[in-house]
Amino acid sequence: MNNHQFDVIVVGAGGAGLMAGLYASRTAKTAVISKLYPTRSHTGAAQGGISAALGNLEEDRIEWHTYDSIKGSDYLGDQDAIEFMCQEAPQAVLELEHMGLPFDRTPEGRISQRPFGGHTNNDTGKPVSRACHAADRTGHMILQTLYQQCIKNDVNFYDEYQVVDLLTNNGKAVGVIAVELSSGELHTFHAKSVILATGGHGRIFEVTSNAYAYTGDGAALVLRKGIPLEDLEFFQFHPTGIYKLGILITEGVRGDGGVLINGNGERFMPKYAPSVKDLASRDVVSRAIYTEIREGRGIGGSNYVYLDVRPETVNKYAALDGRTNPDGSAYTVTGEEILKKLPDIIDFCRVYLGVDPVTQMMPIQPTAHYTMGGIPTNKFGQVIVDDKNTVYPGLYAAGECACVSVHGGNRLGTNSLLDLVVFGKYAGLTAAEYANKTDFESLPSGSEEEIKALFDAMKHGSGTENAFDISTAMKSVMFDLVGIYRTEKDMEKAIEKVRELQVRYKEIKVADTGKIFNTDLINAWELGNMLEIAELIAISALNRKESRGGHSREDYPKRNDVEWLKHTLVKKENGKVELNYKPVTITKYQPKERVY
- Does position 405 interact with ligand FAD (CB under 6 A)? The reply is no
Would you list the DSSP string of 282-312? HHHHHHHHHHHHHTT-SGGGSS-EEEE--HH
End-to-end CA distance of the chain, in Å?
59
**Catalytic annotation, pick one of 40, 282, 310, 411:** 282
134 belongs to the binding site for ligand FAD (CB under 6 A): no
Q: Does 399 bind ligand FAD (CB under 6 A)?
A: yes
Contact in structure between 231 and 373 (CB atoms under 8 Å): yes
CB crowding 345-363: b at 16 or more within 10 Å, else e: bbebbeeebebebbebbbb
State which of positions 358-397 bind ligand FAD (CB under 6 A): 370
Which residue lies nearer to ligand FAD by CB, 284 or 491?
Answer: 284
Least separation, in Å, of the C-beta of 545 and ligand FAD?
A: 28
* Binding of residue 141 to ligand FAD (CB under 6 A): no
Q: If binding is defined by CB under 6 A, does position 16 make contact with ligand FAD?
A: yes
> Minimum distance between the CB of residue 560 and ligand FAD, rounded to whole angstroms?
28
Residue 305's beta-bridge partner residues? 364
**48 scored as a contact of ligand FAD (CB under 6 A):** yes
Residue nearest ligand FAD by beta-carbon distance? 14
Pairing of strands 576-583, 566-573: antiparallel
Q: Of 194 and 248, which CB lies nearer to ligand FAD in the complex structure?
A: 248
Q: What are phi and psi of 552, to 5 degrees?
A: -125, 110
Please give the C-alpha separations between residue 27 and each of 149, 189, 195, 535, in angstroms, as whole numbers: 15, 19, 15, 40
- For the CB of residue 548, give the shortest distance to ligand FAD in the complex, in Å: 20
Q: Are 418 and 131 in contact (CB under 8 A)?
A: no
Site for ligand FAD in 153-182 (CB under 6 A): 162-163
For residues 316 and 363, what is the distance between their CA atoms, to the nearest angstrom? 20
Nearer to ligand FAD, 163 or 501 (CB): 163
Q: Which is nearer to ligand FAD, 213 or 358 (CB)?
A: 213
Distance CA 285, CA 430 (A): 38
4 binds ligand FAD (CB under 6 A): no
Closest CA to 106 of 55, 57, 54: 57
Q: Does 199 bind ligand FAD (CB under 6 A)?
A: yes
Residue 138 as a binder of ligand FAD (CB under 6 A): the answer is yes
Q: How many residues bind ligand FAD (CB under 6 A)?
A: 44
With CB under 6 A as the contact rule, the residue among 132, 135, 213, 355 that binds ligand FAD is: 213
- Do the bridges between strand 127-132 and strand 402-403 make them parallel or antiparallel, or are there none, so unpaired? unpaired
State the minimum distance, in angstroms, from the CB of residue 308 to ligand FAD: 20
Nearer to ligand FAD, 168 or 250 (CB): 250
Which CB atom, from 199 or from 366, has the smaller least distance to ligand FAD?
Answer: 199
- Name residues contacting ligand FAD, limited to 244-263 (CB under 6 A): 248, 250
Cβ-defined contacts of 82-86 (< 8 Å, 24+) = 82/406, 83/587, 84/379, 84/422, 85/379, 85/404, 85/406, 85/415, 85/418, 85/419, 85/422, 85/423, 86/53, 86/62
Counting contacts by CB under 6 A, is residue 46 touching ligand FAD?
yes
Catalytic site includes residue 504: no
Residue 45 engages ligand FAD in binding (rule: CB under 6 A): yes
199-224 b/e (C-beta count within 10 Å ≥ 16 → b): bbbbbbbbbbbbbebbbbbbbbbbbe
DSSP three-state, residue 62: helix
Q: Among 56, 145, 168, 198, which residue interacts with ligand FAD (rule: CB under 6 A)?
A: 198
Q: How far is CA 264 from the centre of its chain?
A: 34
Name which position in 39, 43, 168, 518 contacts ligand FAD (CB under 6 A): 43
Assess 115 for contact with ligand FAD (CB under 6 A).
Answer: no
Q: Which helix (H) or strand (E) holds 89?
A: helix 79-99
Contacts of residue 313, Cβ cutoff 8 Å, sequence gap at least 6: 258, 259, 261
- Residue 11 interacting with ligand FAD (CB under 6 A): yes
- The region of 62-70, 348-356, 411-419, 549-557 touching ligand FAD under the rule CB under 6 A is 411-419
Work out how close the CB of 251 gets to ligand FAD at its nearest, in angstroms, rounded to a whole number.
8
Where does this chain bind ligand FAD (CB under 6 A)?
Answer: 11-17, 33-36, 38, 41-43, 45-50, 138-139, 162-163, 197-199, 209-210, 213, 217, 248, 250, 370, 399-401, 413-417, 420
The residues that are catalytic are 282
